[in-house]
Amino acid sequence: MIALVQRVRRARVSVQGEAIGEIGHGLLVLVCAEPADTEAQAQRLVDKLLKLRIFGDDAGKMNRSVQDVGGGLLIVSQFTLAADVSGGNRPSFTGAAPAAQGQALYETVLRVARERHPLVQAGRFGADMQIELINDGPVTIPMTIR
């Protein structure tokens, strides 16, 4: 699985002008499933997200996790993370999982995250979404879970 993790002061995802998910400080996580991905990888992604120490401690070092600081998770499906632009100017998305598999794995990520963390918001799989965020730092971390 591919994820792009952004530490945010706040973030919101909307569909057709209506906010469907919103958090204060925490992590905005864009998630893309690839064809070989499994539920075990989805669970490992959530484990990594919850333990990722990218929030400052009292000394200002990145030493705290989203759980340590009581932050939220806003998890949004994003198949374009699998874009391949090596062959020309138009991206190919053949590296992304087929829609049914991608949706199932995205829903697994959401289910596991909600079981393990009290504040989880989400986008809508396959929808035309708009995301607003204030990146904190900025801190943006790409992750690949194999």
- Residue ranges of domains in the chain, CATH in brackets: 2-137 (3.50.80.10)
**What confidence score (pLDDT) does residue 23 get?**
98
Band of the pLDDT at 139, cuts 50, 70, 90?
Answer: very high
**What confidence score (pLDDT) does residue 17 get?**
96
Digit-coded pLDDT (tens) for 20-76: 999 999 999 999 999 999 999 999 999 999 999 999 999 999 999 999 999 999 999
Mean pLDDT over 96-125 rounds to: 98
Q: Tell me whether residue 79 is one of the annotated catalytic residues.
A: yes
Which one of the listed residues 38, 80, 130, 140 is annotated catalytic? 80
Rg of the chain, C-alpha, whole Å: 15
Which one of the listed residues 6, 41, 55, 79 is annotated catalytic? 79
CB-based contact 78:31 (threshold 8 Å): yes
**What confidence score (pLDDT) does residue 28 get?**
98
**What confidence score (pLDDT) does residue 140 get?**
98
Integer Cα distance of 105 and 98 in angstroms: 11
Which one of the listed residues 6, 43, 78, 108 is annotated catalytic? 78
Integer Cα distance of 87 and 5 in angstroms: 27
Q: Tell me whether residue 80 is one of the annotated catalytic residues.
A: yes
Mean pLDDT over 107-116 rounds to: 98
Digit-coded pLDDT (tens) for 118-138: 999 999 999 999 999 999 999
DSSP letter assigned to residue 84: B
Q: Tell me whether residue 108 is one of the annotated catalytic residues.
A: no
**What confidence score (pLDDT) does residue 135 get?**
97
